[in-house]
Structure 1
Amino acid sequence: MTIITTTENKKVYFASDQHLGAPNAEASFSREKKFVAWLDHIKKDAEALFLLGDLFDFWFEYKTVVPKGFVRVLGKLAALRDSGIPIYFFVGNHDLWMRDYFEKELNIPVYHAPQIFIINNKRLLIGHGDGLGPEDKGYKRMKKVFTFPLFKWLFRWLHPDIGVQLGQYMSVKNKLISGEEDAKFLGEENEWLALYCKRKLETKHYDYFVFGHRHLPLEINLQKDSTYVNLGDWIKYFTYGEFSEDTLRLKEF
């Protein structure tokens, strides 16, 4: 458990689902520049920054190779981290094959499961959100395959020119990212991440649950003093979370 106490006039920021690289290089480039502009915008008062997964539409780390590109966002994250701003990265379902590149090159810790953080005495459960809750059963089965050590070992033996191209092709086939399909709100009683949060509240109190993955900016009150927040995305909504004093709010850039 990590404890963060903000200093005067400082804030904690959250963002998720940039999907850089999709649906094509031209569209991705314009979104990358906008996200970098947001990083520049928050650096003046950021106590910490949380990136909740799917920063890249595809990411696979070989022992000595990572996908080329994204130099602007990687350089900006390095600059923020070098300036002393803590950054926490949670892998998503599109960049779940991340290993230690961020940790070694950028000094950014990488998490593969939801984590508890205490921010200004508020308890937050933070993660990407994929595979949680009672639904998403097809993806849960697929994730078990993709994270199976033998599968990763076999994929690593593909030449990067083949492996990366194949991974990018499969990722862009997701209609949600290609722009052919919009995420639909299922209603509070059917949103599986909200149901997951309610089950977690049965055993422990959390002031906020903060997730991405759904590509919808959502704020759902679970109890009088507990809220589920979904950060939306940087494809359609360009939304982010801002934690100031003791309150988390969704904002648009």
Structure 2
Amino acid sequence: MSTPFPLPCPASRLAFISDLHLDSALPHTLARFTEFLRTLPARADALFILGDLFEYWAGDDDAGRGINRAVIAALKQTRDAGVQIYLQHGNRDFLLGQNFAQESGVTLLPETVLLHSAHEPVLLLHGDTLCTDDIAYQTFRTQVRDPHWQQNFLAQPLTQRLAHIDMLRQRSQQEKQTKAMAIMDVNPKAVLRALQEAGCRKMIHGHTHRPATHRWEQDGQHYERWVLSDWEFDHAPTRGNALMVADATWHWEVL
């Protein structure tokens, strides 16, 4: 895992979300997200999106497709209302680039961030790097996160990229049917190692779609891992949450 990027805490009221998987096929999820953004300035001064904002992203030249333009406009409106927005890449939207960031007003973050709050440091990441038991996925991740691979992929025509992504999504759905559930969750040793290497005791991540608050003790140290929910408001059971942090108070906001 890469060395965490140090980030001074930008505000005292923070919101954390992840795994919205926004897509034209999910209009109710998009509506819930835009409503969340509309009301956010009254509750938070900074928003952290920890990956997979979009179901997929073929490149910044795809910003005009489907709902992408609406999402960009909603983010920009929220930023203009005074909320700072930070975004990490997920395993679905790792091709989000600086053109998207400039249009939407968001700040792109590295894959691991050490947020220095007023009370204690917190490790932020999407969470897929912690799923070390899924060897096939980690091999794929290494390939697609390689800058040369991305440069070659983005050089292809957009229609070709979209077709390739559609093929990968279908393959992923098929593989999930045969993979053991355990290997698609985080590895506890990888979690502890990431925390200890970062020199902190709290972590926030998404990716696994298994929202929970985990607390444990190791070698006399108390640790916490806050796992964000995915968002789904188009099919039952509906779900979604945000982690709201104000000073030293942490609580889940169920959407």
TM-score (norm 2): 0.82
Q: Residues of 2 paired with 1:46 and 1:150: CA distance?
A: 38
* Cα RMSD (Å): 2.9
Deviation, structure 1 residue 250: 2.4
Q: Residues of 2 paired with 1:167 and 1:116: CA distance?
A: 31
Q: Residues of 2 paired with 1:222 and 1:102: CA distance?
A: 39
Residue 2 of structure 1 is matched in structure 2 by 7
More helix by proportion, 1 or 2? Answer: 2
Letter in 1 for 2:223: S
Contact kept in structure 2, 1:90 and 1:113, CA below 8 Å? yes
Residue 101 of structure 1 is matched in structure 2 by 99
Deviations 1:41-62 (A, max 9, x none): 3221212100011111111225
Letter in 1 for 2:37: L
Q: Unaligned 5+ residue runs, structure 2?
A: 1-5, 233-237
Deviation, structure 1 residue 239: 1.4
Q: Residues of 2 paired with 1:51 and 1:206: CA distance?
A: 20
Deviations 1:12-55 (A, max 9, x none): 1011001112xxx33x1111011111122322121210001111
Letter in 2 for 1:156: L
Residue 237 of structure 1: which of 236, 239, 248 is its match? 239
Q: Residues of 2 paired with 1:67 and 1:112: CA distance?
A: 25
Letter in 1 for 2:247: E
Residue 200 of structure 1 is matched in structure 2 by 194
**Secondary structure of 1:175's match?**
helix
Structure 1 residue 211 and structure 2 residue 216: aligned? no
Residue 225 of structure 2: which of 228, 234, 241 is its match? 228
TM-score (norm 1): 0.82
Contact kept in structure 2, 1:131 and 1:139, CA below 8 Å? no
Deviations 1:84-112 (A, max 9, x none): 21111000010111221233222321123
Deviation, structure 1 residue 192: 2.3
Contact kept in structure 2, 1:32 and 1:72, CA below 8 Å? no
Q: Residues of 2 paired with 1:154 and 1:6: CA distance?
A: 38
Deviation, structure 1 residue 150: 3.7
Contact kept in structure 1, 2:54 and 2:92, CA below 8 Å? yes
Letter in 1 for 2:162: V
For 1:150-165, what aligned pairs fall within 5 Å after superposition? 150-165=148-163
**Secondary structure of 2:160's match?**
helix
Contact kept in structure 2, 1:129 and 1:193, CA below 8 Å? no
